[in-house]
Every structure is written in structure tokens, then in C-alpha cells.
Amino acid sequence: MKLRVFRWSGNTEHVPRYDEFLLEKDPDVYTVLDALKSIRATHDPSLAFRTACGAKMCGSCAMLINNKIKLACATPLTSFKGTITLEPLPNLPLVTDLIVNLSPFWERLFRVRPLLETEADEHQVITSEVQFLVEQFGKCICCAICFSVCPVMGRDEMHLGPAALLMNYRFLVDPRDKNYYQRLDHVDHYHGIWGCDTVFRCTDVCPREIPITQAIIFTRKALIKEKLLASM
């Protein structure tokens, strides 16, 4: 099995290239991430990639694996035959090798003010159903896979993107949050919820199986409802 990895030094005077590494059968090397670590340790210590938990929980190792966006730590080598090509995430500026600059992602996330501001009564009753909703959307690990797979990100630089819209929805369904109307208003434009193509690519690839498109559609419904009731 061969691993073909995108390499770029980070210096604009150097041209990117693909390096090929032959993978020997090794029971300790089970996932794509294991393969990257093994190559770095034995062949090329300059191979640059992000990794932390190795257990599908931190979101560090998102990349293109044979043209599909996945977490390298959760992608077994056994699901491939022949050559596996590794490339950095699309839709984001390149830093080096498989590392991208996530600033555009974080910037959009913070644009929706993802902060709980509450005037809620301490004794406000929150049931398990409500808690489940908040948890379902708040468990986003900010891996940027949805951001990278989104076709709208490719054509509209100003678009907020799936993760930011999902995070906004997490606060919309949190009964403690006092900014419900401001949150709806803030995404009520073409670069917000109305720009979504509703192709469900984000929902398909989310490693946490969050129904991201649902969050966007439900935000639209909430907005329509508020406008019809003329309370906006």
C-alpha cells in the first residue's frame, strides 16, 4: 500500500509536490493517522500534520483522504486498496503540508457570538428533552469538515458556513439564552441561513452525526414564523 502525501514547505518560493511512501504491513499501524505518525518517525520527521487525541474527539486531523474529507484517526487503512492520497482541507488557506489556517473558520464562529448570556431565573426548569437538544448541537468539535465540504463556502467568501450556523442554533434552542431575536436577526441574510444550498453534504460528513442542515432549516422556520407573527 502506498501513501501519497501533499507537501509544501510553507515558503511561497517553493513549489508544492507529492511525496510517496511505501507502507509495510504493521499491526500497530491501523489508521491513516497511524501511518502518518509512522512515516514521520521513520522516514521524514519534517512531515507536518495536526494531531492530538487520535480518538475522534478533538477534531485536529481533518483532511482530504482520496478526495473525501475525513478525520485521519478514524479512517482505517483497510478501507483502501492501492494508493491513498492525503491532501489538506479545501476552502482554507494553506500553512504547510497537511496543515491549513483555520482563522477563517474561527472568525465565522465568533461572528455569531457563541456565548451564553442569560437573565434566566436560577430555578428555571429545564427538562431532559430540552437538554438533549442543546447537547445534540453543542457537541460540535469544530473540526471544520462541514466548512470544507460546503459548496457555498467555495463561491461566497462572506458566507457564515455550516458550523457557525449550527452553533447559533445551539443557542437558539437553549432556553437560558436571552438573545433569541438578535440571533435570528443576525443570520437573516444571504450570507447566513438563506445562502445554504440545502444539499446536506455537511450532515453527511459530520463525525459527530449532528444534523447540521436541520439546524439551518429550523432557523429558517423560526424566522418565517416570527415574521408572519410580525413580532420582529
Based on the shown chain and the rule CB under 8 A, indicate whether residue 46 belongs to the binding site for another protein: yes
114 or 217, CB closer to another protein? Answer: 114
Residue of 17, 139, 155, 189 interacting with another protein (CB under 8 A): 139
149 or 167, CB closer to another protein? Answer: 167
CB 184 within 8 A of CB 226: yes
Number of residues counted as binding another protein (CB under 8 A): 52
Based on the shown chain and the rule CB under 8 A, indicate whether residue 130 belongs to the binding site for another protein: yes
Based on the shown chain and the rule CB under 8 A, indicate whether residue 111 belongs to the binding site for another protein: no
Subset of residues 142 to 171 that bind another protein, contact rule: CB under 8 A: 142
What CA–CA distance (Å, rounded) separates 35 from 85? 12
Based on the shown chain and the rule CB under 8 A, indicate whether residue 60 belongs to the binding site for another protein: yes
Subset of residues 72 to 91 that bind another protein, contact rule: CB under 8 A: 74
What CA–CA distance (Å, rounded) separates 219 from 98? 34
The distance of closest approach from Cβ of residue 183 to another protein in the complex, given in angstroms and rounded to an integer, is 14
Based on the shown chain and the rule CB under 8 A, indicate whether residue 23 belongs to the binding site for another protein: no
Based on the shown chain and the rule CB under 8 A, indicate whether residue 219 belongs to the binding site for another protein: no
Based on the shown chain and the rule CB under 8 A, indicate whether residue 48 belongs to the binding site for another protein: yes
User: Around Cβ 120, how many Cβ atoms within 10 Å?
Assistant: 14
Phi, psi of 99 (to 5 degrees): -105, 125
Based on the shown chain and the rule CB under 8 A, indicate whether residue 44 belongs to the binding site for another protein: yes
Walk across the sheet containing 68-71 and list its strands. 17-22, 2-7, 83-87, 62-65, 68-71
Based on the shown chain and the rule CB under 8 A, indicate whether residue 58 belongs to the binding site for another protein: yes
Based on the shown chain and the rule CB under 8 A, indicate whether residue 107 belongs to the binding site for another protein: no
127 or 231, CB closer to another protein? Answer: 127
Give per-residue burial for 106-116: e unless 16+ CB within 10 Å, then b.
eebbebbebee
CB 64 within 8 A of CB 86: yes
Q: The cell 449550527 sits on which residue?
A: 166
